């Protein structure tokens, strides 16, 4: 601790604290307009000046030394502060009562607290840019603090904006001066979140945040002029705006929740007015997975919640139509039909799918319903389509099927290897962390992928192995490491078993063989091995580019073996990171919505475990593993499954080979679908139960980092829709089971009593923005990273697990191209949710086929041409986009279509033999032109950010501001 005096009073400060941090922690107010705790000191505003040992310094950047004497209110400080504020207020017109930012405006707070009642405003000669669909920039109100630049350049690292200090006056510029809509801005909204004033505003907030902010702009301008004519004292105006600010508290409700889209698990407050109107999404520095960052979907894609397409009443099919029904009638019908089918064909004739967008509590009840009420293990979730192979590979080798550390551990490794993951588009906020460490701290990045996406462009080494040969590459790297004696011998000896068999299994993977099969140059394989050897920590992240192959489980196992070989488990800044797709796909599996595991990945065959559940649930548990989600389609077709209960999953669109899936659904005796929308699957249903949206309920999610976080209810359920947990409970009760949960916290209590990894989880410990990463001990101690002391096997040691190579689907003369598929940043899956936001559709209105210039030339195709893509299972029509992101005999189609261009008209249903995940990413196809384009407009609009170049720099380059002739220095250094 350090001793210091502030305004004559003695205090103790922490070692390394800045003056501002210290003053904030002791409730001593000084203004700090450009400072944000997540961004750190930016040093553009000079409003935080204090006297420090006799000198005027910036409090945000100055660390406290022993015996410091600080004065925050001396005459010199006041004079310097006034000068700083004169500059700020020259750039910003204070019309707070009429401003939508007067809710938590940091400038308003400073002006009010300091009692500043006049200003000399000099409007800048720049127009407002409102070209982006989501936010607007008003240069006249911009105080040039640079927070937005810092966030865009170095936090989310999208590298779009700068302050051009050479302009007179300076201005924030997008892509060196383009209109925002044509810049490389990916609309993540992080700059808008951090802007302390109303220079960057969400369009949804404009005119809505105050009682007087929605008035006609011309009237508004006149009022502003009248209220502040000349330079007269505007104290009364500020007083009114203070009162107005207080009144707005009853107008706007702020509710914390967790993003319903991807597995990054961003949390934020949602501001609403009039019950359901969403004004804005506001992440906070204390958001554990994301801080101030979001992506376009979380920040601007929540409109689905109020969509007119929402189902708001139970529906029962009559003939080929649905009619509205009461809950009582619908539940009675579901209960009696499921009971009849169970009695007639046995419990295993029913299949149940839990939703990965539902909460843990709901997924838990779905599997409890399957096991206790129906008596089957036929329960699964959408992890079957994506990350189950990763779970298999990790459970085999290290014991837990989850990320071994936090996203920060992934990013801070000396060497980050991304394999089969388009992280910047599928997990953008995690990508931001990786980009930040790579940019600012010189970490190495290797990208192994079929497409040259953003992370590949940034990589120190980017390679594209032949389709389906990643496992050979990984094993080749491992063998080279062993051949060079680079393995971590101590780690292998102390913390693993099975090394000798593993080593033997690698014998075939010589450099020559690996080079021949993968097509990757030997030197590059050696480089990766060498970089792994030289790095203190190595992290490997992978996603569906690995798992959606027949050998997904094997490749995931090989990745984990490689990490064990090099001692990259059990410490910070290293490890295995299978990046989870849906918001709660990790949690759905954790709480047991799996056909082969009980909650907490406890074994179905362990008698002690079974007994525990049987006692808790007062039933006999089915012993044999159930049928996986993807195998349920075959089970319907061969008569083993007669009824299904599907929650929040558009299985018709999600399963491979859509023709076959549709055929199967026509053969079901009874189908219940619980959803927000009339999905393609719901169209086959006998009963549709209206589910409420994630924003309309309480509960918890687990993100890809094993981080458990609470959702709070932002608004009431729409119409008669209900939370999944309430609906499942109604059916269970109608089937004779006296479930009696009155709040999700009671369900969590049951989960934590039965699943040891959740043992210490309580709602109190997750209050607000707090989170816990499982396993959580009884006392609440959680696990930001795993395996510090031991692996969860009886002997505490990890297992090397020799892998099998499975040949990928081969091309032939009829099907000469590999069709690759994946996500795009803007959309989520079948666009049920993101497709309800106009701005997102404007940026990406449709899917299209990407192919390389070389392939396009060979096929006589150009951007805009219409083509047929045909595989062994089906054909679709789409348009071509020629792009350098793909190469060779590979073409790419995004998964974002819910109709005729849906990828699964084409995919084949050959599966990973262990995890039962379809090999979605190795579909042989042929492409034929059906019509040449006339206007040849690209199917991806020209205002999509992918067309503009990034403009990187580090920070806001405040030194350039200080060099300007008009810069008025107020500090002493
Ligand atoms: S990418 Fe666009 S929205 Fe995101 S921080 Fe940069 S400029 Fe702002
Ligand atoms: S637009 Fe950027 S530079 Fe301007 S006030 Fe907002 S955060 Fe500061
Ligand atoms: S979609 Fe994913 S990255 Fe984007 S805001 Fe939501 S959780 Fe974060
Ligand atoms: S807060 Fe310190 S310079 Fe702006």
Classify the phi-psi angles of 753: left when phi > 0, otherwise alpha if psi is within -120 to 50, otherwise beta: alpha
Q: What are the tens digits of pLDDT across the range 442-456?
A: 999 999 999 999 999
Q: What are the tens digits of pLDDT across the range 27-80?
A: 999 999 999 999 999 999 999 999 999 999 999 999 999 999 999 999 999 999
Nearest to 869 by CA among 898, 897, 905: 905
> 566: cis peptide before it, omega within 30°?
no
CB 424 within 8 A of CB 474: no
Beta-bridge partner residues of 892: 820, 850
pLDDT (average), residues 608-616: 97
Q: Is 296 in the pocket of ligand 1 (CB under 6 A)?
A: no
Kindly give the number of the ligand 4 atom that is closest to the alpha carbon of 32: 1
Q: What are the tens digits of pLDDT across the range 515-542?
A: 999 999 999 999 999 999 999 999 999 9
Nearest to 410 by CA among 566, 258, 537: 537
DSSP symbols for 407-468: HHHHHTSSEEEEES--HHHHSHHHHHHHHHHHHHS--EEEEE-SS--HHHHH-SEEE-PPTT
pLDDT interval class at 899 (50, 70, 90): confident
Q: Pairing state of beta strands 135-137 and 200-202?
A: antiparallel
Nearest to 64 by CA among 116, 98, 26, 103: 26
Q: Is 885 in the pocket of ligand 4 (CB under 6 A)?
A: no
Checking if the pLDDT of 510 tops 70, the result is: yes
pLDDT interval class at 215 (50, 70, 90): confident
Measured distance CA(931)–CA(956) in Å, rounded: 49
CB 711 within 8 A of CB 359: yes
Q: Which ligand is nearest to the CA of 189?
A: 1
User: Collapsing DSSP states into helix, strand and coil, what is residue 965?
Assistant: coil
The CATH architecture annotation of domain 817-942 reads Beta Barrel (2.40)
The CATH code of the domain at 315-385+585-765 is 3.40.50.740
Interior angle at CA 588, CA 583 and CA 590, nearest 5: 115
pLDDT interval class at 232 (50, 70, 90): low
User: Collapsing DSSP states into helix, strand and coil, what is residue 582?
Assistant: strand
Q: What are the tens digits of pLDDT across the range 651-703?
A: 999 999 999 999 999 999 999 999 999 999 999 999 999 999 999 999 999 99
- Read off the DSSP letter of residue 943: T
Enclosing H/E stretch for 692: none
Nearest-Å Rg of the Cα atoms of the chain is 29
Both structure tokens of 467: 């389709």
Q: Is 189 in the pocket of ligand 1 (CB under 6 A)?
A: yes
Measured distance CA(298)–CA(263) in Å, rounded: 12
Q: Which ligand is nearest to the CA of 293?
A: 3
Q: Is 145 in the pocket of ligand 2 (CB under 6 A)?
A: yes
pLDDT at residue number 207:
87
Q: Is 766 in the pocket of ligand 4 (CB under 6 A)?
A: no
Kindly give the number of the ligand 3 atom that is closest to the alpha carbon of 430: 3
Residue nearest to atom 4 of ligand 1 (CA): 188
Q: Is the pTM of this model over 0.75?
A: yes
3-state helix, strand, coil in the chain (%, to 5): 35, 20, 45
Q: How far is the CA of 817 from the centre of ligand 3 (A)?
A: 33
Enclosing H/E stretch for 385: none
Q: How far is the CA of 41 from the centre of ligand 2 (A)?
A: 15
Cβ neighbours for 644, distance < 8 A, ≥ 6 positions apart: 350, 351, 352, 353, 632, 636, 668, 670, 671, 672
* Residue of 18, 31, 48 best suited for mutating to test ligand 4, as the one with most atoms within 8 Å of CB: 48
Sign of the C-alpha dihedral computed for residues 589, 592, 595 and 596 taken in this order: positive
Residue nearest to atom 1 of ligand 4 (CA): 32
Q: Is 901 in the pocket of ligand 2 (CB under 6 A)?
A: no
Beta-bridge partner residues of 18: 63
Both structure tokens of 625: 């593993």
Residue nearest to atom 8 of ligand 1 (CA): 191
Q: What are the tens digits of pLDDT across the range 550-564?
A: 889 999 999 999 999
**Among the CATH numbers 3.40.50.2300, 2.40.50.140, 3.90.1150.10, 3.10.20.740, which is that of 2-75?**
3.10.20.740
Residue nearest to atom 2 of ligand 1 (CA): 185
**Among the CATH numbers 3.50.50.60, 1.10.357.10, 3.40.228.10, 3.40.50.2300, which is that of 388-578?**
3.40.228.10
Kindly give the number of the ligand 3 atom that is closest to the alpha carbon of 295: 4
pLDDT (average), residues 254-260: 97
Residues in the chain: 973
How far is Cα of residue 343 from the mean position of the Cα atoms in its chain? 43
Q: How far is the CA of 330 from the centre of ligand 4 (A)?
A: 61
* CA distances (Å), origin 854, targets 249, 494, 591: 59, 52, 48
Checking if the pLDDT of 230 tops 60, the result is: no
Kindly give the number of the ligand 2 atom that is closest to the alpha carbon of 956: 3
Q: Is 191 in the pocket of ligand 1 (CB under 6 A)?
A: yes
Q: Which ligand is nearest to the CA of 50?
A: 4
* CA distances (Å), origin 796, targets 458, 465, 517: 39, 35, 37
Q: How far is the CA of 171 from the centre of ligand 2 (A)?
A: 9
Q: Percentage of the chain surpassing pLDDT 90?
A: 85
Checking if the pLDDT of 223 tops 80, the result is: no
Both structure tokens of 74: 């001396």
* Residue of 290, 292, 432, 433 best suited for mutating to test ligand 3, as the one with most atoms within 8 Å of CB: 290
Q: Where does residue 849 rank: exposed (0-12), middle (13-18), buried (19+ CB within 10 A)?
A: buried
Q: What are the tens digits of pLDDT across the range 184-204?
A: 999 999 999 999 999 999 999
pLDDT interval class at 237 (50, 70, 90): confident
Measured distance CA(481)–CA(19) in Å, rounded: 49
Q: Is 416 in the pocket of ligand 3 (CB under 6 A)?
A: no
* Residue of 32, 146, 151, 195 best suited for mutating to test ligand 2, as the one with most atoms within 8 Å of CB: 195
pLDDT (average), residues 815-825: 93
Residue nearest to atom 3 of ligand 4 (CA): 43
Kindly give the number of the ligand 4 atom that is closest to the alpha carbon of 45: 4
Q: Which ligand is nearest to the CA of 200?
A: 2
Checking if the pLDDT of 228 tops 70, the result is: no
Q: How far is the CA of 196 from the centre of ligand 2 (A)?
A: 7
Q: Which ligand is nearest to the CA of 262?
A: 3
CB 158 within 8 A of CB 184: yes
Q: How far is the CA of 61 from the centre of ligand 4 (A)?
A: 8
Q: Is 833 in the pocket of ligand 1 (CB under 6 A)?
A: no
Measured distance CA(352)–CA(373) in Å, rounded: 12
Residue nearest to atom 8 of ligand 3 (CA): 266
Q: Is 147 in the pocket of ligand 2 (CB under 6 A)?
A: yes
Q: Is 46 in the pocket of ligand 4 (CB under 6 A)?
A: yes
Q: How far is the CA of 190 from the centre of ligand 3 (A)?
A: 12
Q: What are the tens digits of pLDDT across the range 576-597?
A: 999 998 999 999 999 999 999 9
Nearest to 195 by CA among 135, 239, 264, 253: 135
Residue identified by tokens 């892998």 is 803
CB 566 within 8 A of CB 502: no
CB 686 within 8 A of CB 672: yes
Q: How far is the CA of 41 from the centre of ligand 4 (A)?
A: 6
Classify the phi-psi angles of 497: left when phi > 0, otherwise alpha if psi is within -120 to 50, otherwise beta: beta
Residue nearest to atom 6 of ligand 3 (CA): 298
Per the prediction, the chain carries an average pLDDT of 95
Provide the residue ranges of all domains of the chain, joining segments of one domain with +. Answer: 2-75, 91-122+211-250, 124-184+948-965, 315-385+585-765, 388-578, 817-942
pLDDT at residue number 142:
97
504-517 burial by CB neighbour count: b if 16+ within 10 A, else e? ebbeebebeebbeb
Checking if the pLDDT of 220 tops 80, the result is: no
Nearest to 420 by CA among 377, 471, 460, 479: 471
pLDDT (average), residues 725-739: 98
Q: Where does residue 242 rank: exposed (0-12), middle (13-18), buried (19+ CB within 10 A)?
A: middle
Q: Which ligand is nearest to the CA of 44?
A: 4
Measured distance CA(7)–CA(10) in Å, rounded: 9
Measured distance CA(599)–CA(608) in Å, rounded: 14
pLDDT at residue number 860:
96
Cβ neighbours for 926, distance < 8 A, ≥ 6 positions apart: 814, 815, 816, 817, 869, 870
Both structure tokens of 582: 């849906």
Measured distance CA(91)–CA(673) in Å, rounded: 56
Q: How far is the CA of 31 from the centre of ligand 4 (A)?
A: 8
Beta-bridge partner residues of 71: 51
pLDDT interval class at 610 (50, 70, 90): very high
Kindly give the number of the ligand 3 atom that is closest to the alpha carbon of 264: 7
pLDDT at residue number 122:
87
Question: What is the CB neighbour count within 10 angstroms for residue 667?
Answer: 13
pLDDT at residue number 345:
98
Q: Is 92 in the pocket of ligand 2 (CB under 6 A)?
A: no
Q: Pairing state of beta strands 670-675 and 687-690?
A: parallel
Q: Is 341 in the pocket of ligand 4 (CB under 6 A)?
A: no
Measured distance CA(21)–CA(6) in Å, rounded: 13
- Read off the DSSP letter of residue 945: G
User: Collapsing DSSP states into helix, strand and coil, what is residue 331?
Assistant: helix
Question: What is the CB neighbour count within 10 angstroms for residue 536?
Answer: 12
Q: Is 47 in the pocket of ligand 4 (CB under 6 A)?
A: yes
pLDDT interval class at 832 (50, 70, 90): confident
Kindly give the number of the ligand 3 atom that is closest to the alpha carbon of 703: 7
Q: What are the tens digits of pLDDT across the range 439-497?
A: 999 999 999 999 999 999 999 999 999 999 999 999 999 999 999 999 999 999 999 99
Measured distance CA(185)–CA(183) in Å, rounded: 5
pLDDT interval class at 715 (50, 70, 90): very high
* Residue of 34, 136, 147, 956 best suited for mutating to test ligand 2, as the one with most atoms within 8 Å of CB: 147
* Residue of 34, 50, 149 best suited for mutating to test ligand 4, as the one with most atoms within 8 Å of CB: 34
Q: Which ligand is nearest to the CA of 105?
A: 2
List the end-to-end C-alpha distance of the chain, in Å, as a whole number.
Answer: 26
Q: Percentage of the chain surpassing pLDDT 70?
A: 99
Residue identified by tokens 């089969």 is 420
CB 538 within 8 A of CB 836: no
Enclosing H/E stretch for 121: none
Q: Which ligand is nearest to the CA of 424?
A: 3
* Residue of 134, 186, 266, 435 best suited for mutating to test ligand 3, as the one with most atoms within 8 Å of CB: 266
* Residue of 42, 958, 970 best suited for mutating to test ligand 4, as the one with most atoms within 8 Å of CB: 42
Q: How far is the CA of 442 from the centre of ligand 4 (A)?
A: 27
pLDDT at residue number 158:
98
Measured distance CA(413)–CA(568) in Å, rounded: 10
pLDDT (average), residues 158-181: 98
User: Collapsing DSSP states into helix, strand and coil, what is residue 895?
Assistant: coil
Classify the phi-psi angles of 656: left when phi > 0, otherwise alpha if psi is within -120 to 50, otherwise beta: beta
Cβ neighbours for 264, distance < 8 A, ≥ 6 positions apart: 289, 290, 407, 427, 428, 429, 430, 703, 704
pLDDT (average), residues 721-734: 98
Q: How far is the CA of 546 from the centre of ligand 3 (A)?
A: 21
Q: Is 160 in the pocket of ligand 1 (CB under 6 A)?
A: yes
């Amino acid at each position: 601790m350090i001793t210091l005096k502030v305004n004559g009073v003695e205090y103790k400060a922490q070692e390394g604290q800045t003056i501002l941090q210290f003053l904030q922690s002791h409730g001593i107010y000084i203004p700090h307009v450009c400072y944000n705790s997540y961004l750190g000191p930016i040093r553009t505003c000079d409003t935080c000046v204090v006297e420090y040992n006799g000198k005027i310094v910036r409090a945000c950047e100055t660390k406290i030394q022993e015996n410091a004497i600080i004065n925050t209110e001396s005459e010199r400080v006041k004079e310097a502060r006034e000068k700083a504020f004169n500059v700020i207020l020259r750039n910003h017109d204070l019309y707070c009562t009429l401003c939508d930012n007067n809710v938590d405006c940091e400038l308003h707070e400073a002006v009010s607290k300091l009692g500043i009642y006049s200003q000399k405003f000099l409007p800048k000669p720049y127009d407002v840019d409102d070209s982006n669909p989501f936010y607007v920039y008003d240069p006249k109100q911009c105080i040039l603090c640079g927070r937005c630049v810092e966030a865009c350049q170095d936090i989310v690292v999208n590298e779009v904006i700068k302050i051009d200090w050479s302009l007179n006056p300076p201005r924030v510029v997008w892509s060196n001066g383009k209109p925002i809509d044509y810049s490389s801005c990916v609309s993540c909204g992080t700059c808008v979140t951090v802007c302390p004033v109303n220079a960057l505003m969400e369009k949804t907030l404009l005119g809505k945040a105050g009682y007087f902010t929605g008035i006609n702009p011309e009237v508004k301008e006149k009022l502003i002029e009248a209220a502040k004519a000349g330079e007269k004292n505007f104290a009364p105006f500020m007083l009114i705006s203070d009162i107005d600010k207080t009144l707005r508290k009853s107008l706007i409700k702020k509710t914390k929740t967790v993003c319903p889209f991807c597995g990054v698990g961003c949390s934020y407050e949602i501001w609403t007015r009039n019950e359901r109107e969403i004004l804005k999404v506001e992440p906070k520095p204390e958001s554990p997975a994301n801080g101030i960052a979001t992506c376009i979907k979380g920040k601007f894609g929540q409109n689905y919640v109020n969509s007119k397409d929402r189902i708001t009443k139970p529906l029962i099919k009559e003939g080929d139509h649905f009619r509205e029904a009461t809950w009582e009638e619908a539940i009675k019908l579901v209960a009696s039909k499921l009971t009849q089918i169970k009695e007639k064909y046995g419990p295993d004739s029913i299949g149940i799918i839990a939703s990965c967008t539902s909460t843990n509590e709901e997924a838990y009840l779905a599997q409890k319903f399957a096991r206790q009420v129906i008596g089957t293990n036929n329960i699964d979730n959408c992890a079957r389509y994506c990350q189950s192979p990763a779970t298999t590979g990790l459970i085999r080798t290290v014991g837990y099927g989850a990320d071994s550390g936090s996203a920060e551990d992934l990013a801070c490794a000396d060497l980050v290897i991304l394999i089969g993951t388009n992280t910047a588009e599928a997990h953008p906020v995690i990508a931001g962390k990786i980009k930040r460490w790579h940019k600012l701290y010189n970490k190495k990045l290797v990208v192994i992928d079929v497409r040259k996406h953003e992370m590949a462009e940034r990589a120190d080494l980017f390679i594209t192995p032949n389709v389906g040969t990643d496992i050979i590459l990984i094993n080749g790297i491992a063998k080279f490491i062993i051949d060079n004696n680079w393995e971590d011998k101590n780690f292998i000896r102390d913390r693993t078993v099975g090394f000798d068999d593993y080593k033997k299994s690698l014998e075939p993977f010589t450099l020559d063989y690996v080079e021949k099969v993968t097509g990757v140059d030997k030197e590059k394989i050696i480089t990766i091995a060498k970089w792994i050897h030289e790095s203190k920590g190595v992290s490997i992240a992978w996603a569906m580019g690995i798992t959606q192959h027949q050998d997904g489980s094997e490749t995931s196992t090989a990745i984990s073996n490689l990490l064990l070989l090099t001692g990259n488990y059990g410490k910070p800044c290293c490890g295995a990171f299978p990046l989870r797709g849906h918001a709660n796909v990790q949690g759905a599996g954790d709480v047991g919505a799996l056909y082969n595991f009980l909650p907490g990945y406890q074994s179905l065959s362990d008698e002690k475990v079974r007994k525990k559940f049987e006692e808790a649930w007062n039933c006999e548990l089915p012993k044999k593993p159930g049928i996986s989600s993807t195998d349920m389609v075959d089970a319907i077709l061969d008569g083993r499954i007669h009824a299904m209960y599907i929650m929040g999953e558009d299985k018709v669109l999600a399963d491979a080979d859509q023709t076959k899936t549709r055929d199967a659904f026509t053969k079901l005796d009874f189908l219940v679908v619980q959803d927000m929308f009339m999905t393609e699957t719901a169209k086959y249903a006998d009963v549709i139960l209206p589910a409420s949206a994630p924003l309309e309920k309480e509960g918890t999610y687990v993100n890809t980092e094993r981080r458990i976080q609470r959702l709070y209810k932002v608004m009431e359920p729409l119409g008669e829709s209900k939370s999944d947990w309430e609906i499942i409970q109604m059916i269970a009760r109608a089937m004779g089971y006296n479930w009696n949960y009155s709040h999700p916290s009671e369900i969590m209590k049951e989960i934590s009593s039965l699943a040891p990894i959740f043992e210490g989880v309580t709602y109190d410990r997750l209050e607000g923005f707090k989170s816990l990463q499982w396993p959580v001990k009884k006392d609440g101690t959680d696990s930001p990273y795993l395996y510090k002391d031991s692996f969860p096997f009886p002997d505490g040691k990890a297992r090397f697990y020799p892998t099998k190579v499975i040949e990928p689907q081969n091309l032939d003369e009829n099907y000469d191209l590999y069709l690759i598929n994946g996500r795009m940043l803007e959309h989520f899956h079948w666009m049920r949710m993101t497709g309800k936001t106009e701005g997102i559709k404007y940026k990406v209105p449709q899917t299209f086929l990407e192919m390389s210039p070389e392939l396009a030339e060979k096929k006589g195709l150009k951007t805009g041409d219409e083509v047929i893509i045909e595989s062994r299972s089906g054909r679709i029509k789409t348009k071509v986009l020629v792009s350098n992101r793909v190469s060779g005999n590979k073409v790419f189609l995004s998964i974002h279509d819910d109709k005729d261009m849906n990828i699964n008209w084409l995919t084949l249903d050959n599966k990973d033999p262990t995890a039962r995940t379809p090999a979605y990413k190795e579909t042989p196809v042929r492409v034929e032109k059906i019509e040449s384009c006339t206007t040849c407009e690209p199917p991806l609009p020209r205002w999509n950010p992918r067309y503009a170049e990034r403009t990187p720099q580090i920070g806001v380059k405040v030194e350039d501001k200080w060099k300007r002739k008009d810069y008025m220095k107020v500090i002493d250094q």
